[in-house]
Amino acid sequence: MTNQAINLDHVTILRSGKPTLDDVSFTVERGEHWAVIGPNGAGKSTLLAVCATSTLPVRGTATILGRQVGNVAVSEIRELIGYVTTHHRMDWPMTARDIVLTGFTNTLETPMRWQPTVEQTAAADAQLEKFGLLASAGTSWRALSQGELGRTLLARATLTKPELALFDEPAAGLDLAAREQVLDTIDEMTSENPQLTSVMITHHLEELPTTTTHAALMRRGTIIASGTATEVLTSDNLSDCFGVPIVVDYAHGRWSSRSGRVR
């Protein structure tokens, strides 16, 4: 078994004839935990979509968990991936339990005429209990707090014990307490499963969990820096990436940033 969880080799993605990813190569070893950071329009979400097999390369190859996209059924790869995003729209009145159960079907909503088995429901409830959400199992997602919804989506993503976890801004829009709950949960997930590999995209250094090991900076569809997190997430690199002076601080395993302009 290859030790690479992700290998994107000179991948290009086009939208309306323009590259959203432009000849990108990106390698993640198993057990690593990556942060991908950059301004709006940098290509972060597209990169994550390629890793999730929901977007296919126009040029180049994507190999996820040792399986080259295009040579095997994407369903075979997706069974091994846990995908966490608070951006998808749920139209059905789903409960927290319903959301977790879709981890078995690899769908955003409950498929028509699908019914979980007794064992599957028990597994979903065990996940909800593990994430401190069992009391909210029957609560509609609309009535969940943002922090509860975030943890529910984390419970869903890890229901089937994935080898690769992909986090699409899991702390976006959360207040301070909810953000810290979600980041603590991600840290716990990582500590409990040393074999888990993860990639998180975010705009904010403050949203990175302490278990982050590596980082990549993106701008205009390309990766401009990548490596260990402490080497990449520096004031000079972030200033170059965002085009404005930024001061980066690192303490107690967490990053923060502030303006570097002289006042």
Query: What residues form DSSP beta bridges with 18?
Result: 15
Candidate CATH numbers 3.40.50.460, 3.40.50.620, 3.40.50.1980, 3.40.50.300; the one for domain 4-80+163-259: 3.40.50.300
pLDDT at 61: 95
pLDDT digits (tens, 9 = 90+) for 191-242: 888 889 999 999 899 999 999 999 999 999 999 999 999 999 999 999 999 9
**Distance of alpha carbon 51 from alpha carbon 73, whole angstroms:** 14
Identify which of 6, 9, 16, 99 has the alpha carbon closest to the alpha carbon of residue 53: 6
Give yes or no for residue 262 having a pLDDT over 70. Answer: no
Cα 185 to chain center, whole Å? 13
Give yes or no for residue 88 having a pLDDT over 80. Answer: no
pLDDT at 89: 64
pLDDT digits (tens, 9 = 90+) for 153-191: 888 888 888 899 999 988 887 888 888 888 988 898 888
pLDDT band at 6 (very low <50, low <70, confident <90, very high): very high
DSSP H helical ranges for 59-200: 74-78, 96-105, 118-130, 146-157, 176-192
Beta carbons of 211 and 31 less than 8 angstroms apart: no
How many angstroms separate the first and last alpha carbons of the chain?
54
**Distance of alpha carbon 194 from alpha carbon 171, whole angstroms:** 22
pLDDT at 9: 96
Tell me 95's DSSP state: B
pLDDT band at 122 (very low <50, low <70, confident <90, very high): very high
Beta carbons of 37 and 203 less than 8 angstroms apart: yes
Q: For the chain, give every domain's residue range.
A: 4-80+163-259, 92-161
The secondary structure of 136-158, three-state, reads: HCCCEHHHCCHHHHHHHHHHHHC
| 93 or 81, which is more confident | 81
Query: Averaged over 125-143, what is the pLDDT?
Result: 90
Give yes or no for residue 1 having a pLDDT over 60. Answer: no
